[in-house]
Amino acid sequence: MSTQNARLAARVADLANATVLCIGDIMLDHFIAGAVDRISPEAPIPVLRVTGETVMLGGAGNVVRNLSGLGAKTCFISALGDDAPGRDITSQLTALRGVDSSLHVEDGRTTGVKIRYSAVGQQLLRVDRETVHPVGEACARTLVDRCLAALPNCGAVVLSDYGKGVLTEAVIRPILEKAAALGIPVVVDPKGRDYTIYHGAAVVTPNRRELADATGMPTTTDNDIVAAARFLAGHCSIPHILATRSEDGMTLVDANGSVLHLPAQTREVYDVSGAGDTVVATVAAALACGLSLPEAAALANVAAGIVVGKSGTAAVTAAELVDALHHRDIGHAEARILDLPRTADLVRGWKQAGLRVGFTNGCFDLLHPGHLSLLRQARTRCDRLVVGMNSDDSVKRLKGDDRPIQAESARAAVLATLELVDAVVIFDEDTPLKIIETLLPDVLVKGADYTIETVVGSKVVLGAGGEVFLATLEPGQSTTRTVNRLREKA
């Protein structure tokens, strides 16, 4: 591991000591996934057969989800409507660890909801229900009063501006002035073309398109980005611009002219929506616990690389951040070895993208052609394959004290190198039932020496509308038989 990565990984635990004030536009993100098998007879449009729905916090709410995932404490302030989505938001915020919410219900405001319909990872349609007008004078005063009261107990501030009316200049200005007086850095996820309203912020984080809109300048090349960011910093008296550039990474430019290019992390990209929320949350939490802005930006770049590998408005966790910093130098294979919570998060993203998820399990003590045949057959039934692997203790209970031959770390590392396998999760129980109940795979695969009724988890998968597939066995292939032959020869 590089020195910088080791230093950043060691500081991730400090994020739990951060307290961040976040104010901005909150909404619900509603994802409806399905399959398209036919065209409607009523009009030339696809018919979506719904297979799953997910509702999660969006907008500034996704910033809060990320702060909570990183372990930081959050004081969250926003306005919403007196409606069912508003009550759903309140409930979801209450369930987040370390979040103290202060939500003002404004008469006449509709809580924002974005509904996205997709099939096989392709978004078909987005429907927005929302109010897009500035909060009233009374609401603005309430929001400002609550922010000013919370500021002295916070180490950083996030202004999450989605242009829906919460962050008016009347709200922004007193917060920036009080934060400056207290020496508290303010991180802004901006909206619109006039960034002078953010004067006094420590750093503003436009994406490539927002930077072009705000400056009227090209943002295609590295030099374009730097020139536009310098112009914006000088014109709006903002000391630092952190330009997020999707597949090209991020660029940090300060008003004095220094430039730091952070290349994107190489990984499979499912969805870039919400990555900006992850960036501002990570930068703010890092600044709140004493990291420098270049360090905070580097950490945010790694975090963004994690969430683009998920589907929908996703959040990053401190554990994922540490793993990513370690695995960046180790390689992609070991990054596939995950614990159950992270595997579940990955599976949710795959399912939201309309991908079919398969699961199989075993000890995989000495990998042989029978194992490879099982994995190949399993992969033909799904788009992504999760493999559950018995821990050393589990193998001993099942096979005897002289097993396993290979330690669990070695067995998992070998499995993770196979392109057939997308995730490996180790379990300590005698069976993978807990994993199956958590992941609810679309297809459960075991060898044909079982019957569907005797496959562990078959009732769970079938009850959820999934499939159990019995793979053809390779004659004469088993680890036990191999071990016995070796003993005979010895």
Average pLDDT (47-66) is 92
Residue 42, marked binder: no
Give the strand pairing for 122-129 and 112-119.
antiparallel
Give the strand pairing for 26-39 and 46-59.
antiparallel
> For residue 325, is pLDDT > 50?
yes
Tokens at residue 56, please? 């999660």
**Quick one: 339-488 is in which CATH superfamily?**
HUPs (3.40.50.620)
User: What local confidence, expressed as pLDDT, does residue 330 receive?
Assistant: 43
Place of tokens 């500035």: 134
Give the strand pairing for 467-471 and 443-447.
parallel
User: What local confidence, expressed as pLDDT, does residue 477 receive?
Assistant: 53
Q: Following DSSP, what letter does each residue of 27-82 receive, concatenated?
A: EEEEEEEEEEEEE-SSSSSEEEEEEEEEEEEEEHHHHHHHHHHHT-EEEEEEEE-S
User: What local confidence, expressed as pLDDT, does residue 489 receive?
Assistant: 56
Cα separation of 358 and 442, whole Å?
6
How many Cβ atoms sit within 10 Å of the Cβ of residue 319? 16
Place of tokens 């919370």: 150
pLDDT tens per residue, range 332-346: 556 688 889 888 888
Average pLDDT (338-366) is 86
User: What local confidence, expressed as pLDDT, does residue 312 receive?
Assistant: 55
Cβ proximity of 410 and 424 under 8 Å: no
CB-facing half-sphere around the CA of 318: CA atoms within 13 A: 18
pLDDT band at 272 (very low <50, low <70, confident <90, very high): low
DSSP state of 195: G
Among the listed ranges 95-109, 205-219, 396-410, which one has the minimum average pLDDT value? 396-410
User: What local confidence, expressed as pLDDT, does residue 490 receive?
Assistant: 52
CATH class of the region 1-327 = alpha beta
Q: Which residue has the higher pLDDT, 99 or 484?
A: 99
> For residue 67, is pLDDT > 80?
yes
Amino acid at 184: I
pLDDT tens per residue, range 106-165: 999 999 999 999 887 788 999 999 989 999 999 999 999 999 999 999 999 999 999 999
pLDDT tens per residue, range 158-191: 999 999 999 999 999 999 999 999 999 999 999 9
Task: Find how far residue 323's CA is from the centre of its chain.
Answer: 14
Place of tokens 């008469």: 107
- List phi, psi (to 5°) of 468: -110, 125
**What residues are labeled active site?**
277
Q: Which residue has the higher pLDDT, 76 or 319?
A: 76
Give the strand pairing for 240-244 and 250-254.
antiparallel
User: Any idea what the Cα angle at residue 188 is, between residues 183 and 193, rounded to 5°?
Assistant: 130
User: What local confidence, expressed as pLDDT, does residue 310 receive?
Assistant: 65
Q: Which residue has the higher pLDDT, 320 or 479?
A: 320
The pTM of the full predicted model, rounded to 2 decimals, is 0.73
Tokens at residue 321, please? 């951040």
Calculate the average pLDDT of the chain: 89
Residue 210, marked binder: yes
Boundaries of every domain in the chain = 1-327, 339-488
pLDDT band at 407 (very low <50, low <70, confident <90, very high): confident
- Report helix, strand and coil shares of the chain as percent, to nearest 5: 45, 25, 30
